[in-house]
Structure 1
Amino acid sequence: MTDTSNTRPADSEAPAPRQSWLHRVMRYLPLIAPVLLWAVPCWMLLYTGQHWPPLVTVAGTALFVLGLVVMPLAMARGHGRRQQDGAAILGDSLLGSSWVLFTWSLLLGIPLRLALTMAGVGDGQDRARLVTWAVLVTAAALLGWGYAEARRVPRVRRLDVQLPRLGAGLDGLRVALITDTHYGPLDRARWSERVCETVNSLEADLVCHTGDIADGTAERRRAQATPLGTVRAAHARVYVTGNHEYYSEAQGWVDLMDELGWEPLRNRHVLLERGGDTLVVAGVDDVTAESSGLPGHRAHLDGALEGVDPELPVLLLAHQPKFVGRAAAGGIDLQLSGHTHGGQIWPFHYLVRLDQPALAGLTRHGERTLLYTSRGTGFWGPPFRVFAPSEITLLVLRAPHTSP
């Protein structure tokens, strides 16, 4: 029997540490953000000196209020338990539209009004109405262009990447990268076919998919994902999970990719040999895998490299760029990632950079490790891409050239 007469208070009785103001605000962000996205442009476009006829003001206000009410409801029905594709399309489209209106109401509306005032253009009402029309036209043009950018087959981005430890026999190895296809509520089966045709035209030695195949289960999005089975590679087709797989039965996606002839690199590696030289192609589960609760799913770099000769160069697939810290510590030569979408709708880029060490392109981390972050092949949610074009990437690996 334990004497408890002089024991200290239990940890659970200790006062909880005070949260910073930022953490407190973040807790309420899902409630605050929709209000700001709709209220700010409503105020800027209707109530800052425009003096519209009452019917225009009432009708415009009603539209903004309707958007504020419908958007979260549609997104909840579309992305929640009901998984209603029509509701998801409506909610996602309203989210993208409100973000663009909010952004340009502030970034264009305020400076333009100041410029017109300083130039002495018209009276206050004239300037206010001119600003309103300028914001509406700009937003409409960006949304139209952004929709076309999101739905088109991505352009191919080509670049040479020199790896100091790459053997001469592997010089010129062609690596095609697709990622974040996000097959979802908008049926993109034909788009998927055309993406795969473009990948095949690259005649790659290795084709990689770094996750976020779809939003929805493999059974539900099978028709859109099936064209991935037509992708050709001289040596291998490899795949790793992204965070969105863990929202929709990740093991089902691993099994489907295996069925389609892709090799899921779940904390394991394969060896690619050419010209007497060897490249280790490794992959890890997404960093969110462990919290998913699925048995055996976690990001485990040591497991992926188990048995690897430390002198061999390593190409690592990891969905999120933030894994590069572990990759650099493990001596990885090149990490391929996606996840960021390049920001997808500017200026969301700056929020992405708060969470990830890179937004897009080739960056160096530590003495040896290079990271290539793709802007993604598809899009998530809002069917728009503004100043963040999608891509299919062809990386040509180069060995160091020796002097004659």
Structure 2
Amino acid sequence: MADSESIGLDPELRPDGGGSGEPPEPGVKAGARRRLPVRRLAVLVLVLVLLCLPPWWTLFAAGADWPSPVLPLGTLVLVGWMVSFPFLMVAGHGRRRNDRAARIADTSLGVIWVLFTWSVLGGLVDLVLGGLDVGGTGRARGVAVAVAAVAAALLGWGHHEAMRVPRIRRLDVHLPRLGAGLDGTRVVVLADTHYGPIDRADWSARVTEAVNALDPDVVVHAGDIADGTPAQRREQSAPLGTIRARLARVYVTGNHEYGSEAQGWLDRMADLGWEPLHNRHVVVERGGDELVLAGVDDVTAAHSGLAGHRADLADALAGADPALPVLLVAHQPKYVPEAAAAGIDLQISGHTHGGQIWPFNFLVRIDQPVVHGLSRHGERTRLYTSRGTGFWGPPFRVFAPSEITLLTLRSGAA
């Protein structure tokens, strides 16, 4: 999963037909604009049918020979979900932001995705066993039971993984231009907290305790702080104000802020004592050496309709000494070509969630250059992509654990 695009369906199901904030293109005819919602509806129906078809076939219809009520009841449940899901998404993630509807929609989407994945795998196993003439008449029912059991186990474990305080991931990052005085600088990375319809104020407080226990010099929040407005998520975001850092606490917007008052979140973080890096930078000093901490708006900001919001690296670095090493915070890893072209030393990003629910990581890789971890781009630039601290939408993490990351900066080559 990658944020609100996590399982291929985005809160663009809002009544306004999307969240970009862009006015209609002047050259687009009214008829074409009227056909656009119809096309979107057709795509949505197709996606929902494709998600439900493998579970229906593998669990109910592939020769399992269940007692007579099972097949019609299973069919009714899946059809009922397909019909109700778009309305729940609109109610939960649209203008009304009904948290109860969002919880139902998000959770059910995660359940269907896991059932879809393992039903496809189960169907393939059934085909192979059938080709080998193994299993006899009870094979299809055995496969259906196995798929249901595996899905239930993964959903239970995945929910625990999503709701727990993330594990600490520790990593040394060598930056040749880093001054000796900055060697050992401790940078803690948070990303994709996604405070949302499930009240996680207590979780947020425990995350804060975990961060403070790491004794950081710098704390970075790499965006997608919440799904909802600052007023809606005030209690969940409040613990961020108690995070301690010797040198700086910095924050940039993610794509989700641009559907829920991006400027309001910049202001909220400033009120909590953080430095909002809204295409700007700050310089920190340690041991007589200096480091530029720069940040850019999310790459979707230019389409948000908010004046002055866009990813602008030139503005972010304006006035910075070019001889100093630069740590850039940009929500999406796909910004790294711009960072590499500018000679940035280290870019920190989130957005991907590491896929969040396997095997979505393979789809994320189509859109992003990296799914998680440390990578090199060009001669100088390193990119660290966090799996994220929270989760978007479905409260599950399957084979993609959340993380609080401790990056220890080291001077000199590795």
Q: TM-score, normalised by structure 1?
A: 0.91
* Matches for 1:264-303 after TM superposition, within 5 Å: 264-303=276-315
Answer yes or no: is 1:248 the counterpart of 2:260. yes
> Which one is further off, 372-381 or 346-355?
346-355
Q: Which amino acid aligns with 2:244?
A: R
- Relative distance call for 1:12 and 1:315 in structure 2 (3 A) is closer
**Contact 2:174–2:413 at 8 Å: present in 1 too?**
no
The answer for unaligned runs of 5 or more in structure 2 is 1-25, 29-37
Structure-2 residue corresponding to 1:8: none
Structure-2 residue corresponding to 1:74: 88
Quick one: which of 321, 326, 330 aligns to 2:333? Answer: 321
The secondary structure found in structure 1 opposite 2:354 is: helix
Q: Which amino acid aligns with 2:211?
A: V
Once the two structures are superposed, residues 104-139 of structure 1 have per-residue CA deviations (whole angstroms, 9 ceiling, x without a partner) of: 10123322442365262222xx00100100100011
User: Partners of 2:177 and 2:106 in 1: how far apart?
Assistant: 45
**Contact 2:92–2:101 at 8 Å: present in 1 too?**
yes
**Contact 1:213–1:245 at 8 Å: present in 2 too?**
yes
User: Partners of 2:213 and 2:42 in 1: how far apart?
Assistant: 48
Answer yes or no: is 1:355 the counterpart of 2:363. no
Structure-2 residue corresponding to 1:170: 182
Structure-2 residue corresponding to 1:106: 120
User: Partners of 1:137 and 1:192 in 2: how far apart?
Assistant: 32
The secondary structure found in structure 2 opposite 1:156 is: strand
Q: Which amino acid aligns with 2:385?
A: T
**Contact 2:58–2:122 at 8 Å: present in 1 too?**
no
* Matches for 1:85-104 after TM superposition, within 5 Å: 85-104=99-118
Once the two structures are superposed, residues 27-84 of structure 1 have per-residue CA deviations (whole angstroms, 9 ceiling, x without a partner) of: 8432211111112211222111122221111212111112222222211110112211
Q: Which has the larger radius of gyration?
A: 1
Q: Which amino acid aligns with 1:191?
A: W
The secondary structure found in structure 1 opposite 2:64 is: coil
* TM superposition outliers: structure 1 runs of 4+ over 6 Å: 24-27
Structure-2 residue corresponding to 1:19: none
Cα RMSD (Å) of the superposition? Answer: 1.9
The secondary structure found in structure 1 opposite 2:160 is: helix
Quick one: which of 39, 48, 69 aligns to 2:53? Answer: 39
* Matches for 1:106-185 after TM superposition, within 5 Å: 106-115=120-129, 118=132, 120-123=134-137, 126-185=138-197
Q: Which amino acid aligns with 1:311?
A: A
Once the two structures are superposed, residues 290-331 of structure 1 have per-residue CA deviations (whole angstroms, 9 ceiling, x without a partner) of: 110111111100011111121111000000000001000000
Answer yes or no: is 1:382 the counterpart of 2:376. no
Structure-1 residue corresponding to 2:14: none
Q: How many residues align?
A: 381
Quick one: which of 296, 307, 312 aligns to 2:319? Answer: 307
The answer for unaligned runs of 5 or more in structure 1 is 1-10, 14-23
**Contact 1:270–1:280 at 8 Å: present in 2 too?**
yes
The secondary structure found in structure 1 opposite 2:136 is: coil
Cα offset, 1:339, TM superposition = 0.4
Q: Which amino acid aligns with 2:296?
A: V
User: Partners of 2:63 and 2:279 in 1: how far apart?
Assistant: 60
The secondary structure found in structure 2 opposite 1:353 is: helix
- Relative distance call for 1:127 and 1:175 in structure 2 (3 A) is same
- Relative distance call for 1:373 and 1:401 in structure 2 (3 A) is closer
Q: Which amino acid aligns with 1:72?
A: P
Q: Which amino acid aligns with 2:261?
A: E
Once the two structures are superposed, residues 240-279 of structure 1 have per-residue CA deviations (whole angstroms, 9 ceiling, x without a partner) of: 0001000011111010000000000111111111111111
Which of the pair has the greater relative contact order for Cα pairs under 8 Å at 6+ separation?
A: 2
Once the two structures are superposed, residues 216-246 of structure 1 have per-residue CA deviations (whole angstroms, 9 ceiling, x without a partner) of: 0001111100000000001110000001000
Answer yes or no: is 1:225 the counterpart of 2:265. no
Answer yes or no: is 1:59 the counterpart of 2:73. yes
The secondary structure found in structure 1 opposite 2:198 is: coil
The secondary structure found in structure 1 opposite 2:52 is: helix
- Relative distance call for 1:79 and 1:394 in structure 2 (3 A) is same
User: Partners of 2:360 and 2:402 in 1: how far apart?
Assistant: 15
The secondary structure found in structure 2 opposite 1:158 is: strand
